[in-house]
Amino acid sequence: MNRRVTVIGGACQSGLLRLPDIQLVELAHWEVAKLLDISGEPLMRHVTRQRHAMPQYHVGHQNRIAKINERLLPFETLALAGNSLNGVDVPGCIESGQKAAERIANALRTGSRTIVQKPVMS
Ligand SMILES: Cc1cc2nc3c(=O)[nH]c(=O)nc-3n(C[C@H](O)[C@H](O)[C@H](O)COP(=O)(O)OP(=O)(O)OC[C@H]3O[C@@H](n4cnc5c(N)ncnc54)[C@H](O)[C@@H]3O)c2cc1C
C-alpha cells in the first residue's frame, strides 16, 4: 500500500474549491491513475481545502518589494522573509529566511541601535 498526495486547484482554478469532496477525489484519482496506469480504487481518501494558500504576485511586484526593502533600510534589525517576497517555492523561502537572519545578525554584530518603532498609520 502506498500513500499519495495530490494537489489540485490554485488561483487559476479556484472554482474547484466549490466542488464536493467526492468529486475532488474522483478528479484527483482520475488524473493520477491515468498518468501512473493505476487500475485499483483508493482504500482511503482525505480532502483538505486550503483557501488563499499561495500569494499571487501582480504586475509591479518586484518594484513593490524593492520599495519595501528601501523603507526597511533604516531599521537594521528588522527583516522580512517568506513566500510573499521573492518566490513561493520552499528553497526560495529558505533563502529569504537565511538572508533575513543574516541581516539581523550583522546588525547586532555591528552594534546597531536602531529601534523598530510602531508604524504611524496615515
Ligand atoms: C498545497 C501546497 C503545496 C505546495 N507544494 C510545494 C512544493 O511541492 N514545492 C515547493 O517548493 N513549494 C511548495 N509549496 C509552497 C511552499 O510550501 C510555501 O510557499 C512555503 O512553505 C511558504 O513558506 P513561508 O515560510 O513563507 O510560510 P509558511 O510556511 O506558511 O510559514 C508561516 C508561519 O507563520 C505562522 N504565522 C502566521 N500568522 C502568524 C501570526 N500572526 N503570528 C505568529 N505566527 C504566524 C504560521 O503558522 C506559519 O507557521 C506548496 C504550498 C502549498 C500550499
Q: What is the pLDDT of residues 51-105, one digit of tens each?
A: 988 999 999 999 999 999 999 999 999 999 999 999 999 999 999 999 999 999 9
Give the CA angle between residues 4, 6, 10 to the nearest 5°: 165
By the 8 A CB rule, do 6 and 28 touch? yes
pLDDT for 13: 92
Q: Whose CA is nearest to atom 25 of ligand 1?
A: 82
pLDDT for 5: 93
Q: Which residues contact 28 (CB under 8 A, 6 or more apart)?
A: 6, 8
Q: Measured from the CB, is residue 88 less than 6 Å from ligand 1?
A: yes
DSSP string, 88-113: SSHHHHHHHHHHHHHHHHHHHHTT--
Q: How far is the CA of 66 from the centre of ligand 1 (A)?
A: 22
Q: Measured from the CB, is residue 92 less than 6 Å from ligand 1?
A: no
Distances (CA, A) of 54 to 83, 85, 90: 8, 12, 12
Please state the atom number of ligand 1 nearest to the C-alpha of residue 83: 26
> pLDDT digits over 29-65, tens only?
999 999 999 999 999 999 999 998 899 999 999 999 9
**Ordered alpha helix ranges (H), 37-72:** 61-72
